[in-house]
């Protein structure tokens, strides 16, 4: 006769049963209030207790009941990333999301990604988040100088951080690439190599980043005594940019130095110049903003100036978590230094 066994509360017999705070309390032998406090951070609890609760939660596959949390605390434990879906930098979204994910690992927060594909800034997404209190904090990408989304969030008092600066008098948290150093360093590099006629290829003229790059480019070029032109890259498709490179290369009427703010535009333009028979980094020098490892493989001799998008995602998240905890906005403003990759 077989011996009757009692199913393990954490075992397969209960695999379809939702794991609750009460389940964790029963398994750990702790009170409901202690388990709840531990999962919310519980700095007053012993590390041993927090580790015990965390281990049980991971072993049993505990998932917080967001509706219950919201009813009890008014919090969602959600961070919303409002992502510019029209951005065509290579691998931008993946690296940004992974950086945010690394920063919220081990916290109570989850990430919701909301892409926006409109060319013009839309307030619809931020309005939805505010009306439905869908997140405890917001990360914005690609901000405009007087971005209406920023204004809405400031007025609503919802914690947020922007990947990019604005021109608002009221301080708000931001993390940004130091675009001024990108532009001035590129100009100085090309001028030191003998370039006399520089072209800046740049897109998305609605962003603060555009303003910063253009202003710094023109200032540095004036100081170096070189001629300049600006090409609106967002007004042309990649096929059109490639054709432009081919046409200018074939006619001989091309600048001897090009600065490009985007990897996709760089590939399009450089491929056209190459088809026209020009030797990159010799007949014409290009310096581009690097956000992935793709272009050094395609054009190993081409200079670049890099931004670490993964690190930017982590930095934005850490700033937002501090803002949610009440840190003053004027203490949450950081710039990342460009990484100079001089190869030629």
CB 259 within 8 Å of CB 187: yes
Say whether both 326 and 239 belong to one domain: no
Q: Which of 316, 336, 338 is nearest to 172 (CA)?
A: 316
pLDDT at residue 261, as a whole number: 93
Give, in degrees to the nearest 5, the angle at Cα 230 between 229 and 233.
145
Assign 6 a pLDDT band (cuts: 50, 70, 90): very low
CB 338 within 8 Å of CB 189: no
Say whether both 296 and 318 belong to one domain: no
Say whether both 35 and 77 belong to one domain: no
Confirm whether 342 is domain-assigned. Answer: no
What is the length of the chain?
344
pTM of the model: 0.78
pLDDT at residue 42, as a whole number: 67
Confirm whether 7 is domain-assigned. Answer: no
Higher pLDDT, 54 or 286: 286
- List the CATH number of the domain containing 22: 1.10.260.40
- List the CATH number of the domain containing 130: 3.40.50.2300
Confirm whether 5 is domain-assigned. Answer: no
Cβ count near 110 (within 10 Å): 15
Say whether both 171 and 220 belong to one domain: no
Say whether both 28 and 39 belong to one domain: yes
Say whether both 106 and 221 belong to one domain: no
Give the range of the structural domain holding residue 34, as residue numbers without chain letter.
12-63
Say whether both 301 and 183 belong to one domain: yes
Range in 10-24, 94-108, 292-306 with the lowest mean pLDDT = 10-24
pLDDT by residue (tens digit) across 207-218?
888 999 999 999
Say whether both 216 and 301 belong to one domain: yes
Say whether both 286 and 314 belong to one domain: no
Confirm whether 48 is domain-assigned. Answer: yes
For the chain, how many structural domains are there in total? 3
pLDDT at residue 41, as a whole number: 66
What is the distance between the alpha carbons of residues 211 and 179, in angstroms, rounded to a whole number?
9
Say whether both 214 and 164 belong to one domain: no
Confirm whether 245 is domain-assigned. Answer: yes
Say whether both 154 and 184 belong to one domain: no
Confirm whether 323 is domain-assigned. Answer: yes
Confirm whether 4 is domain-assigned. Answer: no
pLDDT at residue 132, as a whole number: 87
What is the distance between the alpha carbons of residues 64 and 67, in angstroms, rounded to a whole number?
9
pLDDT at residue 117, as a whole number: 72
Name the β-bridge partners of 113: 81
Confirm whether 155 is domain-assigned. Answer: yes
């Amino acid at each position: 006769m077989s011996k009757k066994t009692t199913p393990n509360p954490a075992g397969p017999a209960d695999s379809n049963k939702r794991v609750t705070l009460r389940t964790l309390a029963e398994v750990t032998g702790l009170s409901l209030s202690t388990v709840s406090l531990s999962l919310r951070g519980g700095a007053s609890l012993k590390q041993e207790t927090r580790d015990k609760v965390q281990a049980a939660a991971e072993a049993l596959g505990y998932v917080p009941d967001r509706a219950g949390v919201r009813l009890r605390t008014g919090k969602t434990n959600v961070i919303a990333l409002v992502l510019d879906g029209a951005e065509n930098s290579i691998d931008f979204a993946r690296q940004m999301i992974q950086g945010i994910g690394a920063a919220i690992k081990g916290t109570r927060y989850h990430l919701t990604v909301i892409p926006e594909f409109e060319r013009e800034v839309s307030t619809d997404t931020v309005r939805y988040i505010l009306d439905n209190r869908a997140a405890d904090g917001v990360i914005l990408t690609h901000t405009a100088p007087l971005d209406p989304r920023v204004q809405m969030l400031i007025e609503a008092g919802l914690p947020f951080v922007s990947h990019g600066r604005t021109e608002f008098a009221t301080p708000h948290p931001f993390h940004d690439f130091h675009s001024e150093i990108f532009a001035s360093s590129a100009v100085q590099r090309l001028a030191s190599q003998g370039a006399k006629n520089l072209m800046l290829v740049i897109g998305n003229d609605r962003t603060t980043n555009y303003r910063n790059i253009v202003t710094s480019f023109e200032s540095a070029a004036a100081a170096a005594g070189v001629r300049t032109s600006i090409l609106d890259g967002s007004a042309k498709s990649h096929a059109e940019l490639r054709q432009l490179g081919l046409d200018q290369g074939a006619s001989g009427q091309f600048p001897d130095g090009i600065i490009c703010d985007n990897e996709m535009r760089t590939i399009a333009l450089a491929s056209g110049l190459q088809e026209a028979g020009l030797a990159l980094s010799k007949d014409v020098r290009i310096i581009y903003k690097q956000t992935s490892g793709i272009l050094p493989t395609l054009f190993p001799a081409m200079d670049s100036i890099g931004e670490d998008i993964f690190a930017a995602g982590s930095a934005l998240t850490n700033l937002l978590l501090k803002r949610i905890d009440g840190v003053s906005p004027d203490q949450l403003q950081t710039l990342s230094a460009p990484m100079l990759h001089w190869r030629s």
